[in-house]
Structure formats: structure tokens, C-alpha cells
Amino acid sequence: MFNRIRRLRQVAAIASISSLVAGCGVLSSDSTEEKGPIVVGTTAAPSTLDPAASWDSSWELFRNIYQTLLSYPSGTTAPEPDAAESCQFTDSTNMKYKCELREGLKFSDGHDLDAQAVKYSIDRIRKINVNGGPAGLLGSLDRVQVLNGREIVFHLNKADATFPFVLATPAMSIVDPEDYPADKLREGDGVVGSGPYTLETYDEGEKAELVKYDGYQGNAERKNGAVTIRYFQDSPTMVGALRDKELDVAFRGLAADDIVDLQADDDDELQLIEGSGTEINYLVFNPKDPMAGKTAVRKAVAQVVDRAAIAHKVYKDTVEPLYSMVPKGLTGHTTGFFDDYGDPSTSKARKILTEAGISTPVPLNLWYTSDRYGSATKGEFEELKSQLEESGLFKITLKSRPWKTYVTGYQNGEYPVFGRGWFPDFPDADNFIAPFVGKQNALGTPYVAPKITETLLPSSRAQSDRANVVKDFEEAQSILVNDARLLPLWQGRQYVAASTEISGAERALDPSTIMLVGELSRKTSW
């Protein structure tokens, strides 16, 4: 990996997410001189502008235009106060969490941001309760209490040491009660927030133009005056725009072929920044489907799928095989699917189906999004189809939709088997298990797992020291492997491609791999 990357004149190769956000000092001599807005490209366009509706990478935009009580300043791996001046548990049971706001906070429309606005924003998420939306993050919240204009207390219904991480997610963005209805989503393409930037203009699926908000009070850096985010349908077009100097930075959705080309490139005007990450990719099985709802069918799929082939043939080894929903690098990671299934085996899969009395070939529809996770997604699903059909045990039909309608489809339970990617809400194993189980989850597909939701997660959340949660997470992962409702495929690395005129890209990703665009600036000298 490092050999392929070393030919770029300006390179930052980063070994971990923590070092990624901390920065390595590879680029220096920052300048505040501007040559127009910094232009960032991505294939992950927002599905909504309303935080109450989003549990996806719409958060990328939200982090930069809205504000949360806590966030991750560059170089940190634990949440710190942002809109809040201070936050802490006030009891020994991790069931009362109190925050005090900074003085004089204002929304971009001039309205006061006070404790009532915070309560309104959190209560609104639960009241609207979008299927597959962020209300699922608030399962441990009982009620929100306002003590005065600046103090809020969150009363939990059970101990939850991860609650500060939840408050730091962009889903908990604070909105203006006068602009966002209490019982329905806000319509239109405008935004009223208090984040580092205001949303000047927005063309859905095309671009978002951000301008520094002078009234912002928080811990985010703003090393530029304006940023334009452009949304692309595929990686080659995005990288072409970067090479043509239409973009300054390309991030999220870089295809394997483009990454390999950039790694081998002698272009002294581009830099490629690489870091290990906790992005995962996986399949979801719908329990209401006649075939995908059968445990034996799911286990047979798990027995046939060759993750190493997907990583090598489709992603050119820019990702690595994943055998657990909890990725490598996090406390509690296991290799449960490899331990139980071993190497891919058609004979073992046939035995599973035969013993369950299931005739072959088993017909299955596999769905994927055509524009969310990069252009390699199509190739990934074609490889899955090839692997499953070559076993002689399955007949696969591939179908796809753009993300906006794809989300509606899986939330309505339309897909027998569908692909999803997951960028962590926060860097803890809890966030790779809790969002996917329970009657209400991030998938819109109920997954009742009482041992996990009623015993293991509550037990782990009572532990402030996250080193003490390994056994709980190992058992939870064992249950996930046995049910095979979720099939992990690969774990990704993080890549950012940028002009060598841009500084700060190596500091711009927070621990949940969201880009903090305020860290980006232009350089005028080496």
C-alpha cells in the first residue's frame, strides 16, 4: 500500500483514525488568502436537509451547517462541548446527563438558541419518528428537562455511558423552533442552524454552497471563508473534475480503480491521503420475505460468499474482508463469521439447504443503491451474483435504485436482500450493533433480538470504562452470526484526494469520518 502511494510528491499516509484527525504536520504554511470557495466533491448527496429524518451520510453536510451540544474538535476522539459550555453525568448511575449552553447563542436567522430550543429539537425527533430515522438513537432517553435558559438535563431510562456520543451525532442538531414544525419534517431547501457555516444555496443532487457564519460559537475551526460541495453520480467523473482543477478535494465514493490510479500517479499537483477507517459494508436480509426469511437460506449465502474475492477483484485491495459487524480496531471486534463458516464452501451450503428441506436453486432478489457508495457497488453485486449462482444453489436477480428512492424502498420492507454501508455515528462497538437491532432501527427492517437489546447492550452501557464491555459485545456478535440477518462483507479505508494547494485535508476527518470542511485552506508557499 505504501509502496504504491509513495510516488505522489505530496502524500500523507495515516495509520489510524486517531492519527488521521490529529494530523501529521505533513503540510504547513497555511494561508487565509482565498481564491474563491474551496470546492469539495463527493458521491454522497444528502437525502434530506432535516436532521429529524436522517440516519445516513446527510450528516456530512449537517456537521458543517448545524450545531450539536457536543462534537469532535480536530485531533480528539471523545466528544467535547460545542453549543454547550459544559456537559457531564451528574449521578453515579449514568442516568442523568446535564449540559449548560454557551451564553448568547444565536441561530443564523437571529433567533435565540436556548435550552428550550435544545429540548424542542430532541423531542421533535421522537415525535416525528421517521421510520429508519434517528429516533432509534434515543432509546435510552426518558425525558428532557429545561432548568433555565441555559441548562438542560437528559433523564435516561437506563444507564447509558454512550449517551454523550449520541448527543455529538449530527442527528441531534439543534434547530430553530420557529422554523421547524414540531410534528412534521421541514419542507424546502433552506436551513436555519447555528453551525460553522450557513447554507447559502442548495441544488439537490448538484451542489451546496456554504459561507462562514460569523455568529457561530463553538469549537470548530474555520480556516476558509466559503466551501462549495459538489455531488457526483460516480467516482470517475469526480476524479476527472479534480484533475481538471474544477475541484480542490474529492472525498467519499472514490472508486478502487481511481484510488489505484492516484496511488501510481506522478502528478505533482495532487495528493492522496490514506487512513484506516471503520466504514463497513454488509447485506441485510428481510425476515418477511419467503426465501430471505429462512435462516437456512441466509446461512447458505453466508457459507458461499467469498469476501476476499470481492475485496481483491472489485475493490483492488483498497478494502479488506470483514467477518463481524464490529470492525477491526474497535474494542470487542471478533471474526465470528469466519470462525463459524470458515472458507467459502458450496458443499457445506448445499448441506445446510438440504437439511432444511429447501429446493435449489433458491430465487433471491438482491438490491443495491446505484449512486450512494461509489460506482464499484454495481461491480460488487455482480460479483455476489456470480459467486452465488456458480454454486448452483441460487438464482439471483439484481436490482438497483438511486439512494433517495432506495431508502424509501427498504424502509417500506420492499427488498428481500439489500446492501448497506455504515459510517459510524461514534467510534464504539455499541454503534455497530445497537442501530441494527430492535423493532425500530436504522434499517427500517425490524430485528427482534431480546438478549442483545434487553441484556447485553444495557450491561455494556453501564460501563464507563469501555475496556470492560468486551464479553458483552462478543456474545452479541455471536447472536448476530447465528441469526445471519446481517452479513458483513468488507471494511474500508479512508481516502481523500486533493490538490497540493490544499492544506488541512489530513486533519479534516472526525472519528466518525465526517469531513470538517473548516479545516481546509489554501497554501501559497511550500
Q: How buried is residue 106: exposed, middle or buried, by Cβ count under 10 Å (0-12/13-18/19+)?
A: middle
Rounded-to-integer distance, Cα 520 and Cα 503, Å: 6
Residue 79 has pLDDT above 80, yes or no: yes
Residue found by looking up cell 464490529 in the block = 326
pLDDT of residue 326: 96
Contact between 304 and 344 under an 8 Å Cβ cutoff? The reply is yes
* Long-range Cβ contact pairs of 222-225 (< 8 A, separation 24 or more): 222/196, 222/197, 222/518, 223/30, 223/32, 223/503, 223/504, 223/518, 223/519, 223/520, 223/521, 224/32, 224/34, 224/37, 224/38, 224/517, 224/518, 224/520, 224/521, 224/522, 225/34, 225/37
% of the chain exceeding 90 in pLDDT = 74
Buried b (16+ CB within 10 A) or exposed e, 10-42: bbbbbeebbbbbbbeeebeebeeeeeebbbbbb
What are the pLDDT digits (tens) for 127-160?
999 987 899 889 899 999 999 999 999 999 999 9
Q: Are 488 and 276 in contact (CB under 8 A)?
A: no
pLDDT > 70: what percent of the chain? 93
Who has greater pLDDT, 487 or 428? Answer: 487
pLDDT at residue 366 is higher than 60: yes
**Which residues contact residue 53 at a Cβ distance below 8 angstroms, ignoring those fewer than 6 apart?**
47, 128, 130, 133, 185
497: left (phi over 0), alpha (psi -120 to 50) or beta: beta
CB 14 within 8 A of CB 24: yes
Mean predicted confidence (pLDDT) in 345-368: 98
| pLDDT value of position 78 | 86
The pLDDT value recorded for residue 523 is 87
pLDDT at residue 503, as a whole number: 95
pLDDT at 8 over 70: no
What's the helix, strand, coil split of the chain in %, to 5? 30, 25, 45
The answer for residues whose C-beta is within 8 angstroms of residue 493's C-beta and 6 or more apart is: 274, 275, 276, 277, 318, 319
- pLDDT tens readout for residues 99-118: 999 999 999 999 999 999 99
Q: Which of 203, 259, 252 is nearest to 41 (CA)?
A: 252
Q: Confidence band (pLDDT; 50, 70, 90) for 26?
A: very low
pLDDT at 524: 67
Average pLDDT over residues 1-12: 33
Q: What is the mean pLDDT of the chain?
A: 90
Q: Which three cell numbers stand for residue 199?
A: 447554507
DSSP 102: P
